[in-house]
Structure 1
Amino acid sequence: MNKKSILIVDDSDAEMALTMRAIKKSGIKADMMVAHSGYEALDMLLGAAEDEGRKGDEQLPWIVLLDLRMPGVDGLGVLRRIRAEERTRRLPVIILSSSDELSDVGACYDTGANSYIRKRVDLIDFTETMRILHTYWDITERPPVPASS
């Protein structure tokens, strides 16, 4: 992957806009990719995986910010598919959700989420959360992408 990119998956235009604004205001220098549904996210991450030109992490985002509650394929469904595919198994996935239900938090970690962050309504707080998240993932040693078979 040549440039750092963040995939934001959220079915709400308002939540998507808030997340993108917080990322920009936090000073993160990254391209933002968007998916408005779980289906769209899976197509972006896995749909063209059989294309001969794709190898390693060339087309994978640096990180995925994934909404939990979406119609159709929800966040847990997307996470299960990401973790089931060798190519995306180690891709950092952060759940962004308004839910504070312990069962939701536990289910996300059990399915392989790297972090669970409750969405903040306040832009200043959410911007600081995005800045801290970026700093953490920027200094963390990232797992290598599995070799293509």
Structure 2
Amino acid sequence: MKNKVILLVEDNPDDELLTLKALKKHNIANDVVVARDGVEALDYLFGSGIYEGRDTSIMPEVMLLDLKLPKVNGLELLKIIRNDERTKLIPVVVLTSSIEERDLLESYQLGANSYIRKPVDFTEFTEAVKQLGLYWMVLNQLPKQ
């Protein structure tokens, strides 16, 4: 059986590296696809652009979504995927450094499943990623699409 996919949508190389290290440290061995902006994430999800021809019947088990992204920001991306039948059920965890209350509110209004502020401390961050991986990749059950 093929590994379940995590789609990490993150434009900050340091945060990307920290997330990947934290997943590895806690033995979360899922395939991780990294999209570095909102357009790249959409290309992956819909099999366009650099992902032309990708088997779009295989969707991520969870999307870890930063909000402050170039090209298409995280909130716009969330709105697009929630309005499309092919992607509307993908669990989305907003993983952001934003402390703006309006970002929190709008994320949930647009259909985010969870909102987590990135801890500054590496130990706290890796623990948060461990919990995310355990819950979304092991415990959570998704409907068949």
Q: TM-score, normalised by structure 2?
A: 0.88
Q: Could you say which residue in structure 2 is the equivalent of 1:130?
A: 129
DSSP 3-state at the match of 2:131: helix
Matches within 5 A, 1:25-44: 25-44=25-44
DSSP 3-state at the match of 2:8: strand
Q: Could you say which residue in structure 2 is the equivalent of 1:112?
A: 111
Q: Could you say which residue in structure 2 is the equivalent of 1:66?
A: 65
Asked if structure 1 preserves the Cα contact closer than 8 Å seen for 2:7 and 2:33, the reply is yes
Looking at structure 2, the residues matched to 93 and 55 of structure 1 have their Cα atoms a distance apart, in angstroms, of 17
Q: Give the % identical residues.
A: 44
Matches within 5 A, 1:38-53: 38-48=38-48
- Alpha-carbon deviation of 1:123? 1.6
Asked if structure 1 preserves the Cα contact closer than 8 Å seen for 2:66 and 2:94, the reply is yes
Looking at structure 2, the residues matched to 18 and 115 of structure 1 have their Cα atoms a distance apart, in angstroms, of 20
Looking at structure 2, the residues matched to 26 and 52 of structure 1 have their Cα atoms a distance apart, in angstroms, of 32
Q: Could you say which residue in structure 1 is the equivalent of 2:90?
A: 91
Q: TM-score, normalised by structure 1?
A: 0.86
Instruction: Mark the CA change 1:54 to 1:21 in structure 2 (over 3 Å): closer, same or farther.
Output: closer
Looking at structure 1, the residues matched to 20 and 56 of structure 2 have their Cα atoms a distance apart, in angstroms, of 28
Q: CA RMSD in A?
A: 1.9
- Alpha-carbon deviation of 1:121? 2.0
Runs of 4+ off more than 3 Å:
51-56
Q: Could you say which residue in structure 2 is the equivalent of 1:82?
A: 81
Is there any run of 5+ residues in structure 1 with no aligned partner, and where? none
Asked if structure 1 preserves the Cα contact closer than 8 Å seen for 2:47 and 2:54, the reply is no
Q: Could you say which residue in structure 2 is the equivalent of 1:141?
A: 141
Q: Could you say which residue in structure 1 is the equivalent of 2:4?
A: 4
- Alpha-carbon deviation of 1:92? 0.7
Looking at structure 1, the residues matched to 83 and 47 of structure 2 have their Cα atoms a distance apart, in angstroms, of 14
